[in-house]
Amino acid sequence: MYASLLALLTSLPVFTGDTETPLQRSARLETIAHAVDSAGDYATCTGDYATVDWCRPVWPRKSARQLKVMLIMLGRAESNFAERVHAGRCRADECDAVKLPGGRVFHRAQTPWQMQYTALVAPEWASMVGKEYWPTFQAAYAASKVLGASWSRCRREPQRGPLTGDWMTWSVSGYATGGRTCSWSRAAGRVAEYQRLYAASLRPLPLPPAHDTSSTPGLRVAAEP
């Protein structure tokens, strides 16, 4: 599914504050696509992890495609996959920043998925900041755990809010509010964006342009009769 994920990422608008060259952005999006693809498989114990006996799924929906597209949607919603946020260079008013005595700024959230520290993401916390593959994989996997926990919590604890909508509303609401509610007021917009991206992920990818071998040195093409 890597190619579909890369196509989704490439279709997103570029964050206005990014200063990457087109080549640098392309390389970074390829890294994100690879990381999300692998993390989604790991979180659902599918793909390369289907026969690994120590793999334990953290996304109860089981569908790797749903999870991977949800991760693309969340990265877009939380940070627009901004390069500086991905690299861990948040500004003073970004990443849930708080100003400490003496003027020092502390950023409570990190990674394109803007997670704050909890016991759930503690195993990945120290190694999930950076634009390279491994920290991006760690961040995507940690976000998968938060999404899975949000869905499971809302399913079994209806007192957290009216269970209107479906698993998408629960997952998005729990993720955005730290588990405080299952019916976040702004969930509908994110659910609609997820549905748009999911539909796009199912469309056939365009084929690369055909290569005209008739003008390629060293190749002979038989003439039509």
Q: What is the pLDDT of residues 132-165, one digit of tens each?
A: 999 999 999 999 999 999 888 887 655 444 444 5
- Is residue 224 included in any domain, yes or no? no
Domain annotation covers residue 212: no
| Residue-range definition of the domain harbouring residue 78 | 2-202
Give the pTM: 0.87
Number of domains in the chain: 1
Question: HEC profile for the chain?
Answer: CHHHHHHHHHHCCCCCCCCCCHHHHHHHHHHHHHHHHHHHHHHHCCHHHCCCCCCCCCCCCCCHHHHHHHHHHHHHHHHCCCHHHHHCCCCCCCCCEEECCCCCEEECEECCCCEECCCCCHHHHCCCCCCCHHHHHHHHHHHHHHHHHHHHHHHHCHHHCCCCCCHHHHHHHHHHCCCCCCCCCCHHHHHHHHHHHHHHHCCCCCCCCCCCHHHCCCCCCCCCC
Position 8 in a domain: yes
Kindly report, residue by residue over 8-65, the tens digit of the pLDDT. Answer: 999 999 998 899 999 999 999 999 999 999 999 999 999 999 999 999 999 987 789 9
Any domain includes 107: yes
